Amino acid sequence: MKIDLVTIFPGILDGPFRESMIKRAVEQNLVDINLVDLRLYTEDRHRQVDDNPYGGGYGMIMKPEPIFKAVEDLKSRSEDLPTKVILLAPQGRSFNQQIACELAEEKHLIMICGRYEGIDERVRTALVDDEISIGDYVLTGGELAAAVVVDSVVRLLPGVLAEEASTEESFTEPLLEYPHYTRPRVFKEMEVPPVLVSGNHGEIARWRREKSLEITFRRRPELLKKVNLSPEDRDYLEKIKKQQS
């Protein structure tokens, strides 16, 4: 997969991809991540990427010309790859694990990081294939949002994680993950649940499933509507509901 990140602050994005798993994925050529300085696509002396809003009002708006030029250039450099152009925007669809899985199937992503008051609307209507928001709050720019999206997508690419690691975690099914423990077995008088040291894999799997159901029920009950529940799962949830009432 190739990912081009279009930004006026490439330095912000430098750090997240130079450490740990994403760094290894880049070194192993599992993903190619390019930081693209939008100012290189300007033609004036000041390398201006923003201008005043038509109609007046507060703040500056990112001009369309450099963004169109950048995206057209990046597409032409990867003509053999189908490309998806994504704008990071508070108005976009809410990012989640399902969208991360969708994006992990793509071959070439171009992500546009907005700044200032936002972006000329013609970028949105004529250049962008998808808009993604990482939550209902406003960041100063799209760089941190892009880093979140790239991190969650890259770890899903084949070879980046051990296969089980990404199939067993939160949201793979719409369930939150069960609790984890490691050594020591007793810490400050808190003991690891005995089932986890029993060596009985069937019982361990059932305990984990039940804890997942319970945590999801208590913290994000709306997710349970989307889960394929077995008769055992339903019995367990009934039991919890009764305990609660």
Q: Which residues pair with 110 in a beta bridge?
A: 4, 85
CB of 35 to ligand SAM, least distance (A): 16
- Using CB under 6 A, which of 17, 22, 67, 115 touches ligand SAM? 115
- Using CB under 6 A, which of 15, 137, 162, 163 touches ligand SAM? 137
**Pairing assessment for the beta strands 190-191 and 2-7 based on DSSP bridges:** unpaired
| Nearest residue (CB) to ligand SAM, 27 versus 137 | 137
| Nearest residue (CB) to ligand SAM, 53 versus 173 | 53
CB of 149 to ligand SAM, least distance (A): 9
| Nearest residue (CB) to ligand SAM, 31 versus 87 | 87
Q: Is 88 in the site for ligand SAM (CB under 6 A)?
A: yes
- Using CB under 6 A, which of 135, 159, 179, 221 touches ligand SAM? 135
Q: Is 113 in the site for ligand SAM (CB under 6 A)?
A: yes
Angle at alpha carbon of residue 52, lines to 50 and 54, rounded to 5°: 125
Q: Is 174 in the site for ligand SAM (CB under 6 A)?
A: no
| Nearest residue (CB) to ligand SAM, 108 versus 115 | 115
- Using CB under 6 A, which of 138, 162, 186, 190 touches ligand SAM? 138
- Using CB under 6 A, which of 13, 145, 175, 213 touches ligand SAM? 145
Question: Which of these segments, 67-75, 128-136, 205-213, 218-226, binds ligand SAM (CB under 6 A)?
Answer: 128-136
Q: Is 134 in the site for ligand SAM (CB under 6 A)?
A: yes
| Nearest residue (CB) to ligand SAM, 5 versus 119 | 119
| Nearest residue (CB) to ligand SAM, 50 versus 177 | 50
Q: Is 124 in the site for ligand SAM (CB under 6 A)?
A: no
Length of the chain: 245
Nearest to 31 by CA among 131, 103, 134, 130: 103
- Nearest-angstrom CA–CA distance, 173 and 227: 7
Given the rule CB under 6 A, which residues bind ligand SAM? 88-90, 113-115, 117-119, 133-135, 137-142, 145
